[in-house]
């Protein structure tokens, strides 16, 4: 599914959907509060990294950096698992390519399973799940993209928000991914520490190479704007599963434009295996402010003292 066009703008359609958005949200909160009564508390620290928006904020690269720093396992749902991603999902495949231990499926069950490893005491990273009440989190980290901000500021389906903007105050920390094209001002609570991260998209080709880019992510425009030498692009739905016909058509367009095909790493792992040698991906390098890791260590130590 492609990100609805009204998610970034307060259009008449967005306003028409507002009553449905509030009904949906109130019903979901009732379920949330009921399920929270049976939440599981892990003996290991659970660090949840998520967002207020439905997809597309660049959360997975942040998870990858923190997981590598802590040498921690990651539990995640594994959205749209298929044979092309070894039935674990594209985000999980990305993390596993970095030798990160990833546990895909029911997050509560996986955390309970990790708890049984008595010789392991380090923290567990939970990819997404701030809206999941079945697991108690020791540290909750919100991720925002500076270019997207809060979108149009409305709740689903009128906008991209899973919960109201004011709920940002419930996080222990906020990481904002910087964007040179940012036009939206993020008004965040003063009580929550804010850290910044930067993404650098590294093309597999030189700047003079003609590129035809394609992507099936939440906000593909971010990817297209980050590349040099683009002579055309095509956006697919988020987590789109590419077919042989799609690849044939993309290759035809690239030939017509005398360009090389380039996609994201997240899309590349969803390509049919037999074409991955023919199509390259642009690597995404993410750097988080070192002050964040100082804060994270202090937070983990403080939580450990409380527990003892």
Same domain, 209 and 163: no
What was the pLDDT predicted at 185? 75
Please give the share of the chain, as a percent, with pLDDT higher than 90: 78
pLDDT one-digit tens code per residue, 144-190? 999 899 999 999 999 999 999 999 999 999 999 998 777 667 889 99
- C-beta contacts of 101-106 below 8 A and 24+ residues apart: 101/73, 101/74, 102/73, 102/74, 102/75, 102/76, 103/73, 103/74, 103/75, 103/76, 104/75, 104/76, 104/77, 104/78, 105/77, 105/78
Token pair listed for 242:
């590419």
What was the pLDDT predicted at 184? 67
What was the pLDDT predicted at 200? 94
Sort residue 76 into left (φ over 0), alpha (ψ -120 to 50) or beta: beta
Same domain, 104 and 211: no
pLDDT one-digit tens code per residue, 13-71? 999 999 999 999 999 999 999 999 999 999 999 999 999 998 778 899 999 999 999 99
What was the pLDDT predicted at 78? 74
Same domain, 144 and 166: yes
Same domain, 87 and 208: no
What was the pLDDT predicted at 85? 54
The H or E element spanning position 302 is helix 290-307
Same domain, 148 and 272: no
CA distance 40 to 133: 9
pLDDT one-digit tens code per residue, 112-126? 999 999 888 999 999
What was the pLDDT predicted at 305? 61
CA of residue 231 relative to chain centroid, distance: 27
Asked if residue 307 has pLDDT above 70, the reply is no
46 pairs with which residues across the strands?
124
Average pLDDT of the residues in 199-222: 94
Same domain, 249 and 271: yes
Whether the bond between 157 and the residue before it is cis, its omega within 30 degrees of 0, is yes
What was the pLDDT predicted at 87? 59
What was the pLDDT predicted at 260? 97
N residues, the chain: 308
Same domain, 97 and 226: no
Quickly state the pLDDT bin for 79 (edges 50, 70, 90): low
Same domain, 235 and 104: no
CA distance 95 to 283: 13
Same domain, 137 and 207: no
Asked if residue 82 has pLDDT above 70, the reply is no
- C-beta contacts of 161-164 below 8 A and 24+ residues apart: 161/52, 161/53, 161/54, 162/51, 162/52, 162/53, 162/54, 162/131, 163/25, 163/52, 163/131, 164/25
Average confidence score pLDDT of the chain = 92
- Number of structural domains (the chain) is 2
Tell me the whole-structure pTM to 2 decimals: 0.91
Same domain, 185 and 107: yes
Same domain, 170 and 292: yes
For the domain that residue 122 is a member of, what is the CATH number? 3.40.50
Same domain, 175 and 89: yes
What was the pLDDT predicted at 1? 66
Q: State the residue range of the domain holding 206.
A: 201-286
């Amino acid at each position: 599914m492609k990100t609805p066009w009204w998610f970034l703008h307060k259009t008449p359609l967005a306003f028409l959907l507002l009553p449905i958005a509030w009904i949906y949200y109130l019903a979901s909160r009732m379920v949330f509060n009921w399920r929270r009564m049976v939440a599981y508390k892990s003996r290991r620290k659970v660090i949840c990294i998520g967002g207020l928006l439905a997809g597309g904020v660049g959360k997975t690269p942040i998870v990858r950096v923190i997981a590598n720093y802590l040498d921690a396992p990651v539990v995640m749902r594994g959205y749209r698992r298929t044979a092309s991603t070894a039935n674990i999902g594209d985000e999980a495949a990305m993390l596993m390519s970095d030798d990160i231990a990833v546990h895909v499926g029911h997050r509560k069950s996986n955390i309970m399973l990790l708890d049984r490893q008595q010789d392991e005491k380090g923290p567990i990273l939970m990819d997404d799940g701030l809206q999941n009440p079945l697991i108690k989190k020791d540290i909750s980290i919100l991720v925002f993209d500076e270019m997207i901000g809060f979108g149009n500021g409305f709740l689903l389906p009128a906008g991209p928000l899973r919960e109201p903007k004011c709920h940002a105050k419930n996080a222990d920390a906020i990481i904002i991914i910087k964007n040179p094209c940012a036009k939206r001002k993020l008004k965040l609570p003063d009580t929550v520490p804010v850290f910044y991260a930067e993404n650098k998209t590294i093309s597999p080709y030189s700047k003079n190479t003609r590129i035809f880019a394609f992507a099936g992510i939440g906000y593909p425009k971010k990817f297209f704007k980050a590349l040099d030498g683009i002579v055309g692009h095509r956006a697919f739905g988020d987590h789109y599963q590419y077919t042989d016909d799609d690849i044939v058509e993309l290759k035809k367009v690239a030939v017509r434009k005398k360009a090389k095909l380039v996609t994201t790493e997240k899309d590349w792992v969803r390509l049919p295996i037999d074409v991955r040698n023919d199509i390259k991906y642009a690597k995404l390098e993410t750097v988080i402010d070192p002050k964040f890791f100082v804060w994270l260590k202090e937070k983990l130590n403080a939580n450990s003292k409380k527990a003892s």
